[in-house]
Amino acid sequence: MTSPYFQPPTYERSRVAEPAPDAAPLPVVVVGAGPVGMSVALGLAQRGIPVTVLEAADQVSFGSRAICISRHSLEVADRLGFGERLAALALEWQGGRSYHRDREVLHFTMPHEAGDVRAPMVNVSQSELEQMMVETLEKNPLITLHWGTPVVGVQQDADGARVTVDTVEGERTLRAQWVVAADGGRSAVRQQLGLRLEGTSYEGRYVIADIHWVCDLPAERLVWFDPPSNPGSTVIMHRQPNDIWRIDYQLAPGDDAEVETQEERIRERIAKHLTWLRHEQPWTLEWHGFYQARALALPDFVHGRVVFTGDAAHLVPIFGVRGLNSGMEDADTLVWTLAAVLHGDADPALLAAYSAERHDAWQQNVANAGKSTLVMTPGTDGYRATRDALLDLSEVRPEFSHLLDPRQSSATHARRSALTLADPDAATADIEAAGLVAGDPVPDRRVRTAPGKESSVHEVRGTGFGIYAFGPLDESALESVFQLRGDLAAALPHEDATVVMVGLGETEHSLVDTDGELAAAWGAAPGEVFVVRPDGLLLGRGRAGDLGGVPAHLRAGGTAKAQRAEAADPRVGLPPEQAAREQVWLAVSAALDSVAADDRPALLTRLALVLGDQVGPAALRDAVEAARAAR
């Protein structure tokens, strides 16, 4: 049986001409031709900027690696011109199941509404994604991609940077106005500048593997905690296109990673699990790797004329699939901000806003991925004890199962960004009632244009700014809307600005909202205007006459703002009862870790007595019965 596993082509090492001494510097050199680096190149070229891409390898990455592509990343792919091809190849999925040994303890479904343009998540190997991006780059005359050109030196001054690369003909030094470091977790650019990631490394270690296996299991996230096939381990499975399956399984603390990553041992572990599932169809091992969870980042993503993005700037734990997806968000924000600076349309402070905004997004991702990691690979005795207790409880008390939820990746917000036009002192209740909040990602949903054509919220604005005006508007307000567009186009002339009328008759860019569904979803009042950034985030909302300062605000790189407390951010947290349960889990875990191992049973006894005194004997008896039933 011939395997359909994707084998990427190899490329000859590129010949790089030595620049003439008096040659003008290149506008941008992107280091790294992974998904993030290529997204940056495509986005900048889309804005008329020539880009040189340097890739150390002679092919795209091999293996599935980051297989789960989020709805927001699919949206970015559409903006960059390869979305349709990606959607045609990828396999959609909407949820998953988790099992404790052989009993289901969680069945989750990601948010998905009838009007959504894209699935919540799709699976496709990173290798295939990168190859289609390479082929998209090759069609763009503004992008030059050099293969086999590892970076061996980076120096910079006030006017730009010099990047020295090892080429087939020896070392070459390229001068650039700006360098974008998108060269991954082991970034050579980061090393050349003497920078280090800061944060946390977790103890959990996973073997990851791709197999070709024809079976009828569904396309959903499948997880087994402590399965009889691999006692004490956690096993994760994902279906990919063409009957390729990704299998991740956890190594025990005492396992020798060198032994466990031998192909014979990997085949043995996988075979045991497939046999236990009673799916004994033949299969082949196609690729394997090794992974350890990390939550690390640079404190600042901009260093002189070098801008870091993707894994070169930050790492997040694999659980919840935030690595590639957060990198695509980085690129989506970086391209319009860097383009504005390169064209001389905005102050370099705009890049400082990018850095602060995307570092905050990393913190959002870590907050969720960190909790997922504490469930998937608890690194302390306290968290291991509570994780196991949650697995037992979820079998008989389903309300605890949400704590096992993988918290799948969703687009991060920019509510605390210096670019976002929002009132940091607004009351929580007012914000939660407002619908879309400034800084939120604007969901893309199917809409109908006034001429009767199908479109979507973001498609109708294109790749630039969108100014969405909800009717009715009087003559003065209408004039203010088009004045805003004119001022924005004058301030950032290399970025499109489109006025989209909602429910205001037939114009070139007008949306039908007869039932008021879009207005209700956004919380839009009649006459209100929403300004959406090129990366799909809501910059601000209000009356058109009150938004006149937006162009100058952007040119200046935003303004410093006091950070709003996280508690005041709508839709970030869980429902109150789930949030309380999560805090209890975290508090009990930390309490167990705060005492010696031989004192933990006594601590729990004391805790039970104190809590029993607070809730009363009847409630305590009910709690005891529930806990006993979970064993």
Provide the residue type at 431 as one letter: I
Q: Are residues 263 and 302 part of one domain?
A: no
Q: What residues form DSSP beta bridges with 176?
A: 26, 161
Residue 572 is given by DSSP the state S
Q: Taking 90 as the threshold, does the pLDDT of residue 301 lie above it?
A: yes
Q: Report the pLDDT averaged over residues 74-78.
A: 97
Domain boundary among 535, 562, 589: 562
Predicted local confidence at residue 571, as pLDDT: 40
Predicted confidence band of residue 562 (pLDDT cuts 50, 70, 90) = very low
Q: Report the pLDDT averaged over residues 487-493.
A: 95
Q: Report the pLDDT averaged over residues 541-560.
A: 90
Q: Report the pLDDT averaged over residues 48-74.
A: 96
∠ CA 315-320-325, rounded to 5°: 60
Among the listed ranges 214-218, 519-523, 558-562, 569-573, which one has the minimum average pLDDT value? 569-573
What the block records as the tokens of 79 is 């903006």
The answer to whether position 97 is within a domain reads no
| Average pLDDT along the chain | 91
Interatomic CA distance for residues 561 and 540, integer angstroms: 14
Predicted confidence band of residue 573 (pLDDT cuts 50, 70, 90) = low
For residue range 461-471, what is the model confidence (pLDDT) as tens digits?
999 999 999 98
The answer to whether position 418 is within a domain reads no
Interatomic CA distance for residues 575 and 624, integer angstroms: 25
Interatomic CA distance for residues 616 and 35, integer angstroms: 57
Q: Report the pLDDT averaged over residues 468-482.
A: 92
- How many residues can be counted in the chain? 631
- What CA–CA distances, in Å, run from 435 to 75, 332, 621? 21, 24, 43
Which one of 105-119, 122-136, 282-296 scores highest in mean pLDDT? 122-136
State whether the Cα torsion 289-295-299-302 is positive or negative: positive
Predicted local confidence at residue 113, as pLDDT: 87
Which one of 409-418, 436-445, 469-478, 569-578 scores highest in mean pLDDT? 436-445
Q: Are residues 129 and 147 part of one domain?
A: yes
Q: What residues form DSSP beta bridges with 246?
A: 210, 238
The answer to whether position 215 is within a domain reads yes
Among the listed ranges 87-91, 96-100, 471-475, which one has the minimum average pLDDT value? 471-475
Predicted local confidence at residue 172, as pLDDT: 95
For residue range 529-540, what is the model confidence (pLDDT) as tens digits?
999 999 999 999
- Write the CATH number for 261: 3.30.70
Place of tokens 């009328």: 501
Q: String of b and e for 424-449 (b: at least 16 CB within 10 Å)?
A: eeeeeeebeebbbbbbbbbbbbebeb
Predicted local confidence at residue 566, as pLDDT: 43
For residue range 331-390, what is the model confidence (pLDDT) as tens digits?
999 999 999 999 999 999 999 999 999 999 999 998 888 788 888 888 889 999 999 999
- Comparing 301 with 201, the larger pLDDT belongs to 301
Q: Report the pLDDT averaged over residues 465-478.
A: 92
The answer to whether position 266 is within a domain reads yes
- Write the CATH number for 525: 3.40.30.10
Q: Are residues 331 and 357 part of one domain?
A: yes
State whether the Cα torsion 254-201-407-311 is positive or negative: negative
Question: H-helix or E-strand containing 163?
Answer: strand 160-167
What the block records as the tokens of 233 is 């381990």
CB 504: neighbour CB atoms within 10 A? Answer: 20
- Helix then strand count (H, E) for the chain reads 17, 26
Predicted local confidence at residue 535, as pLDDT: 97
The answer to whether position 10 is within a domain reads no
Predicted local confidence at residue 279, as pLDDT: 85
| Percent of the chain's residues with pLDDT above 90 | 75
Predicted local confidence at residue 513, as pLDDT: 87
Strands 528-532 and 538-543: antiparallel
- Read off the pTM: 0.94
Q: Taking 70 as the threshold, does the pLDDT of residue 20 lie above it?
A: yes
Range of the domain at 390: 378-408+564-631
Q: Are residues 247 and 193 part of one domain?
A: no
Residue by residue, DSSP assigns 489-531 as HHHSTTS-EEEEEESS-S-TTEEE-TT-HHHHHHTPPTTEEEE
* Closest by CA position to 51, among listed 331, 464, 350, 458: 331
Q: Report the pLDDT averaged over residues 35-40.
A: 98
Q: Taking 50 as the threshold, does the pLDDT of residue 253 lie above it?
A: yes
What the block records as the tokens of 334 is 């970086």
Q: Taking 60 as the threshold, does the pLDDT of residue 604 lie above it?
A: yes
Predicted local confidence at residue 204, as pLDDT: 79
Interatomic CA distance for residues 401 and 384, integer angstroms: 16
The answer to whether position 524 is within a domain reads yes
Predicted confidence band of residue 575 (pLDDT cuts 50, 70, 90) = confident
Contact present, 1 and 243 (Cβ < 8 Å): no
Q: Are residues 530 and 435 part of one domain?
A: yes
Q: Report the pLDDT averaged over residues 87-91.
A: 96
Q: Taking 80 as the threshold, does the pLDDT of residue 404 lie above it?
A: yes
Based on the structure, what is the number of domains in the chain? Answer: 4
Residue by residue, DSSP assigns 94-131 as -EEEEEETTEEEEEEE----TTBSS-SEEE--HHHHHH
Helix (H, G, I), strand (E, B) or coil at 232: coil
Q: Are residues 319 and 287 part of one domain?
A: no
Predicted confidence band of residue 569 (pLDDT cuts 50, 70, 90) = very low
Place of tokens 């998937």: 376
Helix (H, G, I), strand (E, B) or coil at 169: coil
The answer to whether position 521 is within a domain reads yes
Predicted local confidence at residue 563, as pLDDT: 42
Among the listed ranges 41-45, 237-241, 508-512, 553-557, which one has the minimum average pLDDT value? 508-512
Domain boundary among 538, 562, 586: 562
* Closest by CA position to 190, among listed 302, 266, 85: 302
Q: Report the pLDDT averaged over residues 175-188.
A: 97
Q: Taking 90 as the threshold, does the pLDDT of residue 318 lie above it?
A: no
Q: Taking 90 as the threshold, does the pLDDT of residue 139 lie above it?
A: yes
Provide the residue type at 121 as one letter: M
Predicted local confidence at residue 1, as pLDDT: 58
State whether the Cα torsion 384-385-387-391 is positive or negative: positive
Q: Report the pLDDT averaged over residues 252-267.
A: 94
Q: Are residues 51 and 183 part of one domain?
A: yes
The answer to whether position 98 is within a domain reads no
Q: Are residues 317 and 436 part of one domain?
A: no
Q: Taking 60 as the threshold, does the pLDDT of residue 623 lie above it?
A: yes
Q: Are residues 542 and 498 part of one domain?
A: yes
CB 510: neighbour CB atoms within 10 A? Answer: 20
Q: Are residues 258 and 130 part of one domain?
A: no
Predicted local confidence at residue 338, as pLDDT: 98
Q: Taking 60 as the threshold, does the pLDDT of residue 296 lie above it?
A: yes
- Comparing 550 with 429, the larger pLDDT belongs to 550
Q: Are residues 126 and 211 part of one domain?
A: no
Q: Report the pLDDT averaged over residues 424-428.
A: 49
Predicted local confidence at residue 432, as pLDDT: 55
Interatomic CA distance for residues 631 and 627, integer angstroms: 7
Q: With the CA atoms of 537, 541, 545 and 550 taken in that order, what torsion angle do they form, in degrees rounded to the nearest 10? A: -30
- Comparing 82 with 319, the larger pLDDT belongs to 82
Predicted confidence band of residue 319 (pLDDT cuts 50, 70, 90) = confident
Predicted confidence band of residue 409 (pLDDT cuts 50, 70, 90) = low
Predicted local confidence at residue 3, as pLDDT: 83
Q: Are residues 187 and 52 part of one domain?
A: yes
- What CA–CA distances, in Å, run from 397 to 200, 224, 465, 540, 630? 33, 18, 48, 43, 8
Provide the residue type at 13 as one letter: R
Domain boundary among 562, 597, 622: 562
Predicted confidence band of residue 431 (pLDDT cuts 50, 70, 90) = low
Predicted local confidence at residue 414, as pLDDT: 95
Q: Taking 70 as the threshold, does the pLDDT of residue 273 lie above it?
A: yes
- Kindly report the backbone phi and psi dihedral angles of residue 518, in degrees, each rounded to the nearest multiple of 5, phi listed first: -70, -40
Q: Taking 90 as the threshold, does the pLDDT of residue 549 lie above it?
A: yes
Helices 35-46 & 126-138, crossing angle to 10 degrees?
30
* Closest by CA position to 218, among listed 48, 325, 129, 93: 93
- Write the CATH number for 57: 3.50.50.60
The radius of gyration of the chain's CA atoms, rounded to the nearest angstrom, is 26
- What CA–CA distances, in Å, run from 198 to 186, 294, 316, 357? 14, 10, 12, 17
Q: What residues form DSSP beta bridges with 468?
A: 500, 530
